Amino acid sequence: MSSAFRLYLLRHARASWAQPGQTDFERTLDDVGYADAEIMANTATDQGFRPDLVLCSTAARCRQTIEPFQRAAGQDLEIRFLDTLYTGDMETYRALIAANGDVGSLMLVGHNPSIQDVFYSLTSRTTSENAAPHGFLPGMLAVIDFTAFSQVTTGPPGILTALLSAPA
C-alpha cells in the first residue's frame, strides 16, 4: 500500500491586465496580488504547510506568486517550472500529479479553469461547492489529503484539510 499523500493547489494571485504589446503569459501581479501572495505564503507556512515539490506554471504571475512561498519555506524548496501548467487542461494537471506520486506532498501553481477543475475532481462536490461557493479565486490555496497516493487516481475523493484565501 502506498503512503499518505498531500496535494496543494494554488491559483496565482490577482494579476494586472495586459499592457499594450504584452501577452497574457507576461501579465504580472498587481499590487493587491503581490500583497496577497505574501500573506498567503506566511499564513501557509505558519500553519505548517510546506510541499516537498512545487510544479509551477512558467507564466509571470505564477512565478511571482510562488516567490514568497520560497522565501517563507526556505531556499531548499524544490520548484520546477513547466510550460504545460500554463496551457494545460484538467487532464494535463492530473497527469502531472500522477507522474509525481513519489513525493509525500506536491503543490501545483497554475491557472483557472484547470486548478478549479482539479479541485472539484479531487474533493467531493458538496465539499468543494460549500468551501468555494464563488469558485477557485485568485490566490486561493487548497490543501487536500489522501490516505494513499493511489486514492488520487482511483478515489474516493480526498479530504479538504484547508482552504486559504487572501483577504478581500
HEC sequence for the chain: CCCCEEEEEEECCCECCCCCCCCHHHCCECHHHHHHHHHHHHHHHHCCCCCCEEEEECCHHHHHHHHHHHHHHCCCCEEEEECHHHHCCHHHHHHHHHHCCCCCEEEEEECCCHHHHHHHHHCCHHHHHHHCCCCCCCCCEEEEEECCCHHHHHCCCCEEEEEECCCC
User: Which pLDDT score is estimated for 168?
Assistant: 58
What is the pLDDT, as a whole number, of residue 22?
85
- All three cell numbers of 125, joined, read 462536490
pLDDT value of position 1 = 41
| Cα separation, 68 vs 42, whole angstroms | 8
CATH architecture, domain 5-16+23-164? 3-Layer(aba) Sandwich (3.40)
Note the pLDDT of residue 2.
56
Which phi and psi (to 5°) does residue 20 adopt?
Answer: -55, 130
- 33: Cβ contacts below 8 Å, ≥ 6 apart: 12, 13, 14, 15, 16, 61, 64, 65, 138, 139
pLDDT, residue 47, reads 95
Per domain, the residue ranges of the chain are 5-16+23-164
Mean pLDDT, contiguous 10-residue spans, the chain (168 residues) = 85 92 92 95 95 97 96 89 97 96 96 96 91 94 96 92 85
61 grid coordinates: 504571475
